[in-house]
Amino acid sequence: MKCLVSGATGFIGLKLCQQLEARGHVVIALSKHGGALINGKPTLALDLTVNDPGADLLSGVDVFFHLAGIAHQQAPESAYEALNYRVTERVARLASAAGVGCFVFLSSVRAMGSSSSLHRRSESECTVPRDPYGLSKWHAECALREAVSGDEMSVVILRPSLVYGVDVKGNLKTFFRGIRWGLPRPPARGARSMIAIDDLVALLCTIAQRPPMGVNLWIACGAHSYSTQAIYDLIRKSSGKNRGAGWLPHWAWRLSARFLDMASGQKRGSTYEKLFGTELYSNAAVLVDTDWRPRVLLEDVIEDIISPRATDS
């Protein structure tokens, strides 16, 4: 099978390319700057905001995994729109015209907007996102469904929840470092659906092996959710430390989060919501439609994640 992967040098792209090659597939790996894969092989440098993949590149491709996008950055709204939205629509049309068998777009649960609900949300329980990242993913999903509606090309839109694994970046990496520097035990508030990178990659490989008909939209998350306090406790335990003291009162956490919002230029309440918000999602649809099952728990891999090599890289 011939697979094309955009965003191949990203956190998920590196692992996906490794697994696709391990399963015997031919991989065409694209990245903005032509960086190397895990095995040291260079990727093909292609800035998708400037140049489209040519017909020769798309010829004979069975599955196009479109992972390229802006995620853990404070980027201008126009940058999110250009790469996450406009590029997705354009390359999907090109893939369809070139006869690509299946197009897989890695969206995000952020495309579903915010919710105050405490139950697990399904794919249809959406509000229009307010943040540029989530809105760009939502626009890309809508444009993708319109662009390829009625085409022969199979389309899968995946909305992963928070992804964790070795070399994780973003908020999780910052939190891990904070605990190593003596962060006090957080209060027991909120919970988030999460997914291990190995489980997400396994789902992507399952889709490559058995592409579904038509346009499919699935949430990808693990079976368990975790609060900030639960993650804190797992990290402390795996580090051989005691539970830690929760000496910082809740009001002080809220005040500290507000100061961090001001310092980073984020919307008021953003940091607190990331720490103590509730974001629960249901993977029932993908479990019904595929034979994929999440198998990894955070406690299974926490030692590898918090190792000095992983957290200091």
Taking the domains of the chain in order of start, what are their residue ranges? 2-165+193-226+280-297
pLDDT at 181 over 90: no
Q: Which residue has the tokens 């040519």?
A: 54
Q: Which tokens sit at 282?
A: 């249901």
Q: How confident is the model at residue 274 (pLDDT cuts 50, 70, 90)?
A: confident
Give the 3-state secondary structure of residue 302: helix
Find the helix or strand (DSSP H, E) in which 145 lies. helix 132-147
Give per-residue pLDDT as tens, 191-200: 999 999 999 9
Tokens of 145: 């469904």
The 10s digit of each residue's pLDDT in 225-235 is: 999 999 999 98
Decide the pairing of beta strands 102-106 and 63-66. parallel
Cα distances (angstroms) measured from residue 302 to each of 95, 203, 232, 233: 38, 21, 11, 11
pLDDT at 313: 46
Report which of 25, 35, 23 is spatially closest to residue 6, judged by C-alpha positions: 35
pLDDT for 309 equals: 52
Residue 286 CB neighbour total at 10 angstroms: 24
Query: For 80-89, 168-177, 205-214, 256-265, which range has the lowest pLDDT when averaged over its residues?
Result: 168-177
Confidence of residue 297 (pLDDT cuts 50, 70, 90): very high
Over the stretch 103-146, which tens digit does the pLDDT of each residue have? Answer: 999 999 999 998 767 899 999 999 999 899 999 999 999 999 98
Residue 241 vs residue 209, higher pLDDT? 209
For 303, counting Cβ atoms within 10 Å of its Cβ (0-12 exposed, 13-18 middle, 19+ buried), the class is middle
Return the CATH number of 2-165+193-226+280-297, one of 3.40.50.300, 1.25.40.10, 3.40.190.80, 3.40.50.720.
3.40.50.720
CA 134, CA 116: separation in Å to the nearest integer? 16
For the cut 90, the answer to whether the pLDDT of residue 271 exceeds it is: no
Mean pLDDT across the stretch 10-37?
97
Q: How far is 10 from 62, CA to CA, in rounded Å?
A: 21
Half-sphere exposure of residue 180: CA atoms within 13 angstroms, side-chain side: 15
Asked if 166 and 186 touch (Cβ cutoff 8 Å), the reply is no
Measured CA to CA, the distance from residue 310 to residue 306 in angstroms comes to 6
Q: What is the mean pLDDT of residues 287-313?
A: 83
Distance, C-alpha 168 to centroid of its chain? 10
Which residues have CB under 8 Å from 143's CB, separation 6+?
Answer: 85, 88, 89
| Tokens 């329980």, residue located | 125
Q: How confident is the model at residue 307 (pLDDT cuts 50, 70, 90)?
A: confident
Q: Collapsing DSSP states into helix, strand and coil, what is residue 240? A: coil
Statement: residue 310 has pLDDT above 50: no
pLDDT at 244 over 60: yes
d(CA 257, CA 272): 5
pLDDT per position as a tens digit, 29-70: 999 999 999 999 999 999 999 999 999 999 999 999 999 999
Instruction: Provide the whole-model pTM.
Output: 0.93
What are the φ and ψ backbone dihedral angles of 86, each rounded to 5 degrees? -65, -45
Question: How many C-beta atoms surround the C-beta of residue 116 within 10 A?
Answer: 6
CA atoms within 13 A on the CB side of 4: 27
The pLDDT score that the predictor gives to residue 73 is 67
Cα 18 from Cα 201, distance rounded (Å): 10
What is the Cα–Cα distance from 130 to 134, expressed in whole angstroms? 7
What's the pLDDT at 72?
A: 66
Q: Is the pLDDT of residue 289 over 50?
A: yes
The CA distance from 83 to 80, in Å, is 6
Please state, rounded to an integer, the average pLDDT across all residues of the chain.
Answer: 92
Longest dimension (CA), the chain: 61
